[in-house]
């Protein structure tokens, strides 16, 4: 089946919404740009030549298909048959490049000459700067001033790749402020600028478009597990920050009622401490960055209802919102959302390293940390696919500091 045919089978939002979630809560001045993007995406989504270009870059530049690896020693440890979908093996070391390639090809089709993006830890900024270099497009990245200091290495990477990094001084000087600033730039420069959002967040059509572009994870995994395991999996597990790697893995299986799905959020120091990023587990319905979904808000002081600061050891899960399709999956019960603490994620990172010789990202480690729970539900002969969203090189300093603090 061609990619366009596979994509056509994935759910489309209805009037820009997944159930009651999603929508386009943006300034009037941004509506023409959003409408133009939505039209362009509709056309590209049905166009075999668009997917031929995307697929060729994914094969020859990113290194796809990524492996589906049967992790036998990890399986024995957690008590079920575990397969790892190895997005960590992609160029730039995570799943984010899948989305960036697709949006950059779309930008070029739309005749946009300039890419902008927001970034938190810098992973999406690096992936965007990478495709900008590949396409020869100027690139400007908005990054909270706090994050610029914390993530100096990624700032250097973006600069080497030719991007300009703008430190954002407003608000908490982190990801949510960077996203506000990028939206502001887009309003001012709609004519020539393409805003490349990094997860299944933001106003419609981004949550839909980014999920379709990341669905390459699940579309490949589906073919690979039928080939290697001889049947569909019993469960899928993936970490959830904004929710793009999870949505990309889940979407091609969503109509298979027997495939159970688990999204794993960051519980930080523990959900009860208030220092966490478990938006679906502990947040409430609200509007953030142009769409309605679950958000983390202040509950108990003068800032009641305002967006709260998220906390996680993994910078990539440290976002106080979550994609609207996840909100709909939570409310319908199609996907179960659980959370794991910093400490549990670290232990899982060590477990994967020792049993399989794979150093995963701290974000990814949250999914690994939920494996024992999921194995308990599917049983010894159960088949589980874990989204291994990224590699751990970027986190080694954090991991080393935590380990020396506790031993």
Ligand X SMILES: *Cc1c(COP(=O)(O)O)cnc(C)c1O
Interaction of residue 24 with ligand X, rule CB under 6 A: no
Torsion of CA 372, 373, 379, 381, to 10 degrees: -40
Nearest distance in Å: CB 314, ligand X: 7
Interaction of residue 203 with ligand X, rule CB under 6 A: no
C-alpha 294/C-alpha 130 separation (Å) is 31
Pick from 100, 115, 155, 240 the residue near ligand X by CB under 6 A: 240
Interaction of residue 144 with ligand X, rule CB under 6 A: no
Strand partners, 139: 115
C-alpha 42/C-alpha 44 separation (Å) is 6
Interaction of residue 199 with ligand X, rule CB under 6 A: yes
Pick from 144, 202, 207, 390 the residue near ligand X by CB under 6 A: 390
- Pair 132, 163: CB distance under 8 Å: yes
Pick from 249, 363, 369, 395 the residue near ligand X by CB under 6 A: 363
From 157-165, 242-250, 343-351, 372-380, span contacting ligand X (CB under 6 A)? 242-250
Pick from 96, 112, 173, 219 the residue near ligand X by CB under 6 A: 96
State the binding string over 220-239 for ligand X (x if CB under 6 A, else -): -------------------x
Closest to 64 in 3D by CA, of 223, 217, 227: 217
Interaction of residue 207 with ligand X, rule CB under 6 A: no
Which sequence positions are flagged as catalytic? Answer: 96, 118, 389
Closest to 16 in 3D by CA, of 255, 193, 205: 205
Interaction of residue 265 with ligand X, rule CB under 6 A: no
Angle at 334 between CA 373 and CA 245, to 5 degrees: 70
As a residue count, the chain comes to: 407
Nearest distance in Å: CB 270, ligand X: 20
Beta strands in 321-380 (DSSP E): 335-341
Nearest distance in Å: CB 5, ligand X: 25
Q: How many positions of this chain bind ligand X (CB under 6 A)? A: 18
181/265 with CB nearer ligand X: 265
**Residue 379 in 3-state DSSP?**
coil
Nearest distance in Å: CB 36, ligand X: 24
C-alpha 238/C-alpha 240 separation (Å) is 7
């Amino acid at each position: 089946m061609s990619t366009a045919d596979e994509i056509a089978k994935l759910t489309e939002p209805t009037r820009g919404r997944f159930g009651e979630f999603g929508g386009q809560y943006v300034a009037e001045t941004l509506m023409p740009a959003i409408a133009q993007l939505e039209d362009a995406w509709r056309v590209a989504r049905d166009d075999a030549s668009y997917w031929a270009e995307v697929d060729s870059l994914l094969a020859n530049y990113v290194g796809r298909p990524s492996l589906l690896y049967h992790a036998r020693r990890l399986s024995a440890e957690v008590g079920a048959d575990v397969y790892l979908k190895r997005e960590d093996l992609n160029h730039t070391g995570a799943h984010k490049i899948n989305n960036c390639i697709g949006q950059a090809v779309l930008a070029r089709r739309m005749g946009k000459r300039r890419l902008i993006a927001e970034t938190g830890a810098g992973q999406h900024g690096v992936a965007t700067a990478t495709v900008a270099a590949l396409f020869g497009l100027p690139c400007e990245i908005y990054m909270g001033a706090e994050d610029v200091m914390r993530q100096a290495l990624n700032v250097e990477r973006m600069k080497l790749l030719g991007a300009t990094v703008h430190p954002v001084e407003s608000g908490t000087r982190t990801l949510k402020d960077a996203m506000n600033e990028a939206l502001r730039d887009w309003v001012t420069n709609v004519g020539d600028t393409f805003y490349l959002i990094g997860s299944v967040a933001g106003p419609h059509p981004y949550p839909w478009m980014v999920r379709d572009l990341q669905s390459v994870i699940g579309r490949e995994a589906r073919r690979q597990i039928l080939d290697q395991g001889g049947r569909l999996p019993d469960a899928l597990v993936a970490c959830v920050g904004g929710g793009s790697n999870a949505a990309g893995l889940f979407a091609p299986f969503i109509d298979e009622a027997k495939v159970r799905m688990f999204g794993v959020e960051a519980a930080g120091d523990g959900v009860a401490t208030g220092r966490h990023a478990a938006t679906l587990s502990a947040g409430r319905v609200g509007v953030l960055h142009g769409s309605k979904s679950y958000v983390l808000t202040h509950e108990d002081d003068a800032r009641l209802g305002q967006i709260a600061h998220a906390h996680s050891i993994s910078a990539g899960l440290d976002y106080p919102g979550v994609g609207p399709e996840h909100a709909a999956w939570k409310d319908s019960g199609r996907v179960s959302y659980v959370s794991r603490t910093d400490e549990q994620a670290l232990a899982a990172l060590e477990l994967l390293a020792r049993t399989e010789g794979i150093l995963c990202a701290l974000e990814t480690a949250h999914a690994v940390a939920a494996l024992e729970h999921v194995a308990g539900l599917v049983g010894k002969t159960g088949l589980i696919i874990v989204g291994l969203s990224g590699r751990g090189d970027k986190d080694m300093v954090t991991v080393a500091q935590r380990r020396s603090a506790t031993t």
